[in-house]
């Protein structure tokens, strides 16, 4: 009876009116039985060959008959033994995880890390680097063709800029604490969470992590030695339980930067310990202070900071999901994005109460293209410092500035002002906008410290902008955007949003402004391609009675900031299409 009902539904799916609803229904049914067009079921183990890479890095494998399986960590040319984990889109394809490699890919290399098989952080550490770059460019071409609907994407997408440093390139790493042993006597351990697993842990302190600086490995080893030497560590410094909100130690974050002065040529480290201490007694706070003091004695550890954790659950049960426990949006910082934007803190406390500097300064400094950036704990900065130089250089070239200090730049999602401050010397004025208050304060301080006077920064939620912030110039038939007392009519806009991309309202505002050039930087080319399609929309849609500017994609520049992972940073350059209805006079 179920099979008959399923067949009837798929017949009805030919109608576009019911397609979405029926796919939702059959997607639920796919979890409970095998449909005729689904040759696999959840939990089944299969042998398949990977033929391509899907966006996000999963391998595309095809079952006999053409049924598609997206397999985690499978690489083209590789034959794998995999377990089916989900049936998606009403039975259109399945997801799987690789259990065993049956035949290696032609691009296989030995991974230089003993934790590679379990950790999952370096998905492609066992793939030749030149081939990694080819896979990443192919992903960009794919989304620009399929989502942005760019017909000649293969011509427009440049060769990817390789990373100058392929190991030890990260300037920031976060390690989670977890309990090893039973509930009463288990010792705190720390390491990296396996991909897609909120409960597992890969301990890396014995051999370190090949992505971070060597001095950061020393901090991990010292922290482990300190905790192992404490006889009552499980009682005084228990691991924070993300399900219940009980416990103390949550995570250890290490931020590194080249160090000047007495350790010139070496690396400075900022140690950030996220812990819940508010409800703890004097002995626990004393033990925590002793741990921080011990870490502060390591050469070139510049500062040790306590980041307050709220004694609240951070995970919730998720019925019917592959992960039984998922994030529920509560905890120390709300949701943080790769570009530094975040939601507001859940706690009603002032932001300054969330951070306590225990040793040393409250910031760590990184120099980029001659500009010194002092970064506070919550401020975002590109994690690959050397490759960030290439990224900023590429953004500057994309802006096509005259060099005569005549252009006004609007830097949206500006973080600590990385792009704006690096380009300020060639612009008339730079205006930056960011939601994270700490990042905005850092940007202002960085401008002052570097004696950059033509830069202004605001705090604002770009998802909440409205057309009421636009004002029209009757003479030039163009529009400006208003932030407080500043009326800005930019020549170039740089946008670097979170992985989710831009809000549709912001896209509409950019089109209403009719800016001559938009330089869009993204760590998620898929959502970037979606926004490019909206900006390049050829329809004559209007908003509030005004013509929306149309754009064309003139170049696409992928940059590899994350070697050995599927992630790629991508820069697209959009140029306004001339119009006879007012926009061509904007100059």
100 exposure class (CB count in 10 Å sphere: 0-12, 13-18, 19+): exposed
Nearest to 498 by CA among 350, 333, 343: 343
Please state at what angle helix 214-229 crosses helix 282-296, rounded to 10 degrees. 150
Tell me how far apart the terminal alpha carbons of the chain are, to the nearest angstrom.
Answer: 67
Annotation says 13 is catalytic: no
- Residue 320's CB is within 10 A of a number of other CB atoms, namely 7
Helices (H) and strands (E) in the chain, counts: 13, 28
DSSP SS3 for 11 = helix
- How many Cα atoms sit within 13 Å of 57 on the Cβ side? 23
Do 518 and 493 touch, CB atoms closer than 8 A? Answer: yes
- Output the six-digit token pair for 9: 């539904």
- Residue 430's CB is within 10 A of a number of other CB atoms, namely 29
Helix (H) or strand (E) holding 187: strand 187-192
575 phi and psi angles, rounded to 5 deg: -115, 135
- Catalytic one of 300, 523, 536, 556: 523
Do 288 and 277 touch, CB atoms closer than 8 A? Answer: yes
Alpha helices (runs of H) in 30-69, residue ranges in sequence order: none
DSSP state of 8: H
Nearest to 281 by CA among 234, 231, 237: 237
Do 293 and 359 touch, CB atoms closer than 8 A? Answer: yes
Q: Long-range contact list for 104-112, CB < 8 A, 24+ apart?
A: 104/78, 105/50, 105/75, 105/76, 105/77, 105/78, 106/77, 107/75, 107/76, 107/77, 107/131, 108/75, 108/78, 112/167, 112/210
Q: Active-site positions?
A: 523
């Amino acid at each position: 009876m179920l099979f008959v009902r399923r067949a009837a539904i798929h017949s009805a799916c030919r109608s576009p009116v019911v397609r979405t609803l029926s796919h939702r229904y059959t997607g639920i049914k796919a979890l409970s039985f095998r449909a005729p067009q689904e040759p696999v079921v959840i939990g089944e183990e299969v042998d398949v060959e990977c033929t391509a890479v899907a966006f996000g890095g999963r391998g595309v494998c095809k079952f006999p008959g053409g049924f598609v399986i997206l397999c985690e960590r499978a690489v083209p040319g590789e034959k794998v033994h995999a377990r089916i984990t989900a049936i998606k889109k009403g039975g259109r394809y399945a997801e799987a995880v690789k259990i065993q490699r049956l035949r290696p890919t032609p691009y296989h290399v030995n991974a230089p890390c003993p934790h590679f098989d379990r950790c999952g952080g370096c998905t492609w550490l066992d793939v030749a680097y030149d081939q990694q770059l080819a896979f990443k460019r192919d992903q960009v071409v794919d989304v620009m063709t399929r989502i942005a609907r760019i017909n000649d994407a293969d011509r427009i997408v440049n060769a990817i800029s390789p990373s100058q440093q392929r190991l030890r390139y990260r300037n920031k790493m976060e390690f989670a604490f977890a309990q090893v042993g039973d509930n009463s006597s288990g010792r705190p351990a720390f390491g990296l969470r396996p991909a897609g697993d909120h409960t597992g842990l890969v301990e890396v302190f014995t051999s370190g992590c090949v992505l971070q600086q060597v001095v950061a490995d020393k901090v991990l080893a010292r922290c482990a030695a300190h905790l192992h030497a404490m006889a009552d560590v499980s009682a005084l410094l228990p691991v924070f339980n993300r399900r219940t909100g009980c416990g103390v130690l949550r995570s250890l974050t290490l931020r590194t930067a080249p160090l000047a002065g007495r350790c010139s040529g070496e690396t400075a480290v900022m140690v950030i310990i996220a812990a819940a201490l508010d409800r703890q007694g004097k002995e626990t706070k004393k033990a925590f202070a002793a741990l921080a003091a011990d870490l502060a004695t390591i050469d070139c550890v510049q500062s040790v900071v306590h980041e307050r954790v709220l004694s609240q659950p951070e995970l919730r049960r998720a019925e019917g999901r592959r992960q039984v426990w998922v994030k529920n949006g509560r905890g120390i910082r709300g949701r943080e994005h790769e570009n530094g934007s975040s939601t507001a803190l859940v706690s009603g406390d002032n932001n300054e109460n969330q951070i306590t500097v225990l040793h040393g300064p409250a910031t760590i400094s990184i120099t980029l293209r001659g500009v010194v950036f002092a970064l506070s704990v919550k401020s975002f900065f590109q994690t690959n410092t050397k490759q960030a130089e290439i990224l900023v250089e590429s953004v500057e070239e994309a802006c096509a500035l005259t060099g005569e200090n005549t252009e006004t730049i609007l830097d949206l999602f500006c973080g600590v002002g990385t792009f704006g401050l690096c380009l300020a010397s060639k612009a008339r004025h730079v205006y930056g906008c960011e939601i994270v208050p700490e990042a905005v304060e850092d940007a202002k301080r960085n401008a002052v410290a570097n004696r950059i006077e033509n830069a202004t920064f605001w705090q604002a939620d770009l998802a909440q902008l409205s057309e009421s912030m636009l004002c029209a110039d009757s003479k030039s038939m163009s529009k400006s955007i208003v932030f407080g007392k500043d009326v800005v009519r930019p020549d170039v806009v740089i946008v670097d949003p979170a992985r989710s991309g831009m809000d549709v309202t912001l896209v509409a505002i950019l089109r209403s402004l009719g800016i001559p050039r938009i330089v869009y930087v993204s760590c998620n080319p898929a959502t970037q391609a979606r926004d490019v399609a909206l900006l390049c929309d050829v329809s004559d849609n209007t908003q509030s009675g005004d013509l929306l500017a149309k754009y064309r994609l003139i170049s696409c520049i992928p940059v590899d900031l994350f070697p050995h992972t599927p992630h790629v940073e991508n820069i697209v350059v959009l140029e306004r299409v001339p119009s006879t209805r007012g926009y061509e006079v904007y100059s």
